[in-house]
Amino acid sequence: MHEKINRLLTELDSLTAKNAGEVEALRVGWLGKKGSITLLFEEFRQVGAEEKRQFGPQINRLKQAAVEKINALRESMESAGGHKPSFDATLPGEPAPLGARHPLSIVRSEIIDIFKTLGYTVAEGPEVEDDYHVFGALNFPPEHPARDMQDTFFVTAGDNPVLLRTHTSSVQVREMERRKPPIRIICPGRVFRNEAISARAHCIFHQVEGLYIDENVSFADMKQSILYFAREFFGAGVQIRLRPSYFPFTEPSAEVDVSCNICRGEGCNVCKHTGWLEIMGCGMVDPNVLEASGIDSKKYTGFAFGMGIERIAMLKWHVRDLRHYFENDIRFLQQFATA
Ligand code: DAH
Handedness of CA 130, 134, 140, 144 (dihedral sign): negative
pLDDT band at 339 (very low <50, low <70, confident <90, very high): low
pLDDT, residue 52, reads: 82
Q: Which residue has a Cα nearest atom 8 of ligand 1?
A: 306
- Please give the helix or strand (H or E) that residue 177 lies within, else none: helix 169-178
Cα 164 to its chain centre, rounded Å, is 27
Question: What percent of the chain shows pLDDT beyond 70?
Answer: 97
Exposed e or buried b per residue across 185-223, where buried means at least 16 C-beta atoms within 10 angstroms of its C-beta: bbbbbebbbeeeeeeeebebbbbbbbbbbeeebeeebbb
Task: Find out whether 78 and 52 touch, Cβ atoms under 8 Å.
Answer: no
CA dihedral 179, 181, 187, 191 (to 10 degrees): 70
Name the residue among 234, 202, 207, 209 with its Cα closest to residue 325.
202
Name the residue among 190, 156, 151, 153 with its Cα closest to residue 170.
190
Q: Which residue has a Cα nearest atom 12 of ligand 1?
A: 305
Q: Which residue has the higher pLDDT, 290 or 237?
A: 290
Least confident among 1-10, 192-201, 223-232: 1-10
pLDDT, residue 5, reads: 81
Q: Which residue has the higher pLDDT, 130 or 52?
A: 130
Residue positions counted in the chain = 339
CB-based burial of residue 83 (10 Å sphere; 0-12 exposed, 13-18 middle, 19+ buried)?
exposed
pLDDT, residue 51, reads: 81
Q: Categorise residue 328: left if φ over 0, alpha if ψ from -120 to 50, beta otherwise.
A: left
SS3 content of the chain, % helix, strand, coil (to 5): 45, 20, 35
Tell me, using a 6 A CB cutoff, whether residue 302 lines ligand 1.
Answer: no
pLDDT band at 150 (very low <50, low <70, confident <90, very high): low
Within 8 A by CB and 6+ apart from 179, the residues are: none
pLDDT, residue 283, reads: 98
Q: Is 15 helix (H, G, I), strand (E, B) or coil?
A: coil
The C-alpha atoms of residue 7 and residue 20 are separated, in whole angstroms, by 25
Q: Is 209 helix (H, G, I), strand (E, B) or coil?
A: strand
pLDDT band at 2 (very low <50, low <70, confident <90, very high): confident
pLDDT, residue 178, reads: 95
Q: What is the mean pLDDT of residues 159-166?
A: 93
Tell me, using a 6 A CB cutoff, whether residue 282 lines ligand 1.
Answer: yes
Ligand 1 center from residue 219 Cα (angstroms): 16
Ligand 1 center from residue 262 Cα (angstroms): 25
Q: What is the mean pLDDT of residues 287-308?
A: 97
pLDDT, residue 85, reads: 66
